[in-house]
Homo-oligomer: A and B are copies of this chain.
Amino acid sequence: MPKPTLSIEFLGAAAEDYLPHLAVDCVVFGFHAGQLRILLTHWHARQRWSLPGGFVRRDESVDSAAHRVLQLRTRLDHVYLQQYHTFGGLDRRDEEIEHMLDHEDGRQAARAWINDRFVSVGYYALVDWTEVTPTPDGVLTDECRWWDLATCPPLLFDHDAMVARALATLRSQLGHSPIGLNLFSETFTLPELQRLYEAILGRPLDRRNFQKRMRELGILERVGELRGAGVRRAPYLYRFDRPRYEQALREGILLRR
């Protein structure tokens, strides 16, 4: 990995190859130990964290840019990724970042480019965190890792608001789309799935009603029984029935409350 430096080469290329003023940022949700987590990147110049983001190449769609950014930070292809809002306020700067380039070797034009006002298209992704290889860009950011949503630090720019809105969108989707295929490895148990729903909704659900509704959706296949390590009865393992899951995704489902 190259030493993290904001080089002439980097920003010069940026100004040529990318659309100015336009960014994409991704709220990458994972799920582990009953907690929602998000992937954050660390800006060495500011010693603070932000969402993984990037710019839009002149020859790619905004959706493609989001997928590319996500691939770069996670090494994952074919991720479930949804555009949810575009953030275009005038308050989207960070003064420290505007000055940090004074210490770097960038040319004026390059500095101007990165310090320009940006409008950012927000995406959220749902991923199986075990498949992710968190990868900083090595230029602006020197670290990339998971944070529990509940304990993550205040983020740069307006990224706290972007996370909040992504979560709200996810929550409102929950009653209309199946969820989980992208967040779990191949198999999972119903208690795990329930904990995912509870983490997203922020409230407990009734186990019996939850299991009944999930079974009735007809998108689950029971696989076998989990031999748990714990002092308790082992729950069944499930996997999603892909064709049915994707059909439910297309046609929508109806889970009330």
Contacts and interface: CB of A to CB of B under 8 A. Distances in A.
A71 to B, nearest CB: 17
Given A19-B21, A20-B21, A22-B22, A62 B117 contact: no
Nearest to A58: B117
A59 interface: yes
A119 B20 contact: no
Scoring A56, A59, A86 by chain B CB atoms within 10 A of each residue's CB, the highest score goes to A86
A82 to B, nearest CB: 11
Contact of A61 (B20, B59, B88): B88
A10 B249 CA distance: 46
Nearest to A92: B61
Interface string A115-150: 001010100000000000000000000000000000
B58 A86 contact: no
A61 B90 contact: yes
Interface string A67-95: 00000000000000001011011100000
Interface string A1-29: 00000000000000000011110000000
Contact of A119 (B62, B89, B90, B117): B62
A33 to B, nearest CB: 32
Residue with the highest number of chain B CB atoms closer than 10 Å, among A62, A88, A119, A256 = A88
- A59, A89, A119 pick with most chain B CB within 10 angstroms: A119
A86 B121 CA distance: 8
Given A56-B88, A86-B86, A88-B121, 11 more contacts: A19-B20, A21-B21, A21-B22, A22-B119, A58-B117, A60-B90, A62-B86, A63-B88, A63-B89, A65-B88, A83-B86
Closest 6 CB pairs of A and B: A62-B88, A86-B86, A61-B89, A19-B21, A86-B121, A61-B90
Interface of A: 19-22, 56, 58-63, 65, 83, 85-86, 88-90, 117, 119, 121, 256
